[in-house]
Amino acid sequence: MIRIGWFTLLASCSAPSERRSAITDTGLLSVASPEPLNHQFSFAIIADPHIVAAGEHEARLKKAVEWIEANAVELDLQLVMILGDICWGNGFNIAHAALDQLTLPWVPVMGDNVIQTGGESTFHSTFQEQIDRLATDVEGFTMADTPVANPERGGESWLQNMAFRYGDVQFIAADWSSREVHPLWGETPDLHDFEGGTWPWLTQQLAIAPTAKSNNTILLSHMPLFEGPGGLTVDEADAVVNLLSAHQDALWANLAGHLHVDSSMDWDRAGIEVHVTDATWDDVNRVRVVDVSSSETQVSYDHWIVDVR
């Protein structure tokens, strides 16, 4: 058990074929429904491949991709989320080639390491074709204009803010990664509350998100939303709580990476769950699987961790 501020991280292990819901690992029940539920689809999460050159990290990412492809039919996997720190340095084309072996639609989320190494624009150009492809693979795909002028840090920032719908679920990928190049502060989230930034964009996306069913919205990000050391400042956390709590009937969870552990928690003040997926690049190579079901009035989720061997 690791504690960062008040954010408790609980590592979990499972056999490749073993389904493990949040209640199994952490005592948290994701969403319970008394109504009959019908399976809709499942999706997979890969986090933090850390591809900087050919080698072991690339091999581990390929293993994760191979596992997803091999189990896609049995588990009804229809989407893959790559939650940040995908590549930097000499790893852009290598990572793209590995991920492009996926036959399922996949969503590339930018992480902090590419920013800290000056690769924002290269990330965008590397994955632009895949982002364009998502416009035909999923419903209602939209991406905020980028780059934008960043009055907080100066210059331009290639914010990667995307939203789309799949089945009954609205996915919103928000870019919180700091644009401050610093070994400590660069590891913490920023709201980017300026014209064209993440904060006004997210506020708008939540305002227009479909609300026909409860728990139908998922926030994707590289950096998880939590308050305390390594996370949001007090003022930032209060702002996030005020926004998210106003939409808590629609929101299920924030799915993220960055911390290199598997963890699950309730952020009670904001009215959401936060689930962090471990990195593929070190210790056990892991993938999270999320199963989506729905009733007439709400969406429900079961999720578990798979050890890729």
Sort 242 into a burial class: Cβ within 10 Å, 0-12 / 13-18 / 19+: exposed
Q: 285, 201 in Cβ contact below 8 A?
A: no
Q: How many residues does the chain have?
A: 309
**Side-chain-facing half-sphere of 91: CA atoms under 13 Å:** 25
pTM of the model: 0.90
Identity of the amino acid at 304: W
> What mean pLDDT do residues 129-149 have?
97
Do 172 and 220 contact (CB within 8 A), yes or no?
yes
Residue 9 has pLDDT above 80, yes or no: no
Quote the mean pLDDT of the chain. 90
Using a pLDDT cut of 90, give the percent of the chain over it.
Answer: 85
**Above 50 in pLDDT, residue 6?**
no
Segment 84-113 mean pLDDT: 98
- Greatest Cα-to-Cα distance within the chain, rounded to the nearest angstrom: 52
* Element of type H or E holding 142: strand 139-143
Q: Which residue has the higher pLDDT, 258 or 35?
A: 258
Query: Residue 41 carries which side chain, given as an amino acid letter?
Result: F
pLDDT band per the 50, 70, 90 thresholds, residue 35: confident
- φ/ψ of 3, rounded to 5, equals -125, 120
Q: How confident is the model at residue 229 (pLDDT cuts 50, 70, 90)?
A: confident
Which amino acid is it at 72? Answer: A
Distance (Å, whole) CA 101 – CA 96? 9
| Residues facing 304 on adjacent strands | 289
How confident is the model at residue 21, as a pLDDT?
A: 36
pLDDT confidence band for 135 (50 / 70 / 90): very high
pLDDT at 118: 96
For residues 59 and 50, give the distance between their C-alpha atoms in angstroms, rounded to a whole number: 11
- Give me the pLDDT at residue 34, please: 66
Q: What share of the chain is helix, strand, coil (3-state, %, to 5)?
A: 25, 30, 45
Cα–Cα distance measured from residue 236 to residue 231, given in angstroms and rounded to the nearest whole number: 9
Q: What is the pLDDT of residue 32?
A: 53
- Mean pLDDT value across residues 271-291: 97
pLDDT category of residue 74 using cuts at 50, 70 and 90: very high
| Structure confidence at residue 31 (pLDDT) | 52
Query: What stretch of H or E contains 298?
Result: none
Output the pLDDT for position 4.
40
Q: CB under 8 Å, gap of 24 or more: what pairs does 120-126 form?
A: 120/147, 120/157, 120/158, 121/147, 121/158, 122/92, 123/86, 123/87, 123/88, 123/92, 123/158, 123/160, 124/158, 124/160, 126/87, 126/92, 126/93, 126/95, 126/96
b/e 166-180 (16+ beta carbons within 10 angstroms → b): bbbbbbbbbbbbbbe
Q: Quick one: which of 305, 308, 309 has its CA closest to 20?
A: 305
CA atoms within 13 A of residue 138's CA, in its CB half-sphere: 28
In whole angstroms, give the CA distance from residue 261 to residue 286. Answer: 10
Structure-token pair, residue 288: 């999270």
Q: What does the domain layout of the chain look like in residue ranges?
A: 2-307
Q: Would the CA dihedral through 144, 150, 153, 155 be positive or negative?
A: positive
Q: Which CATH superfamily is domain 2-307 in?
A: Metallo-dependent phosphatases (3.60.21.10)
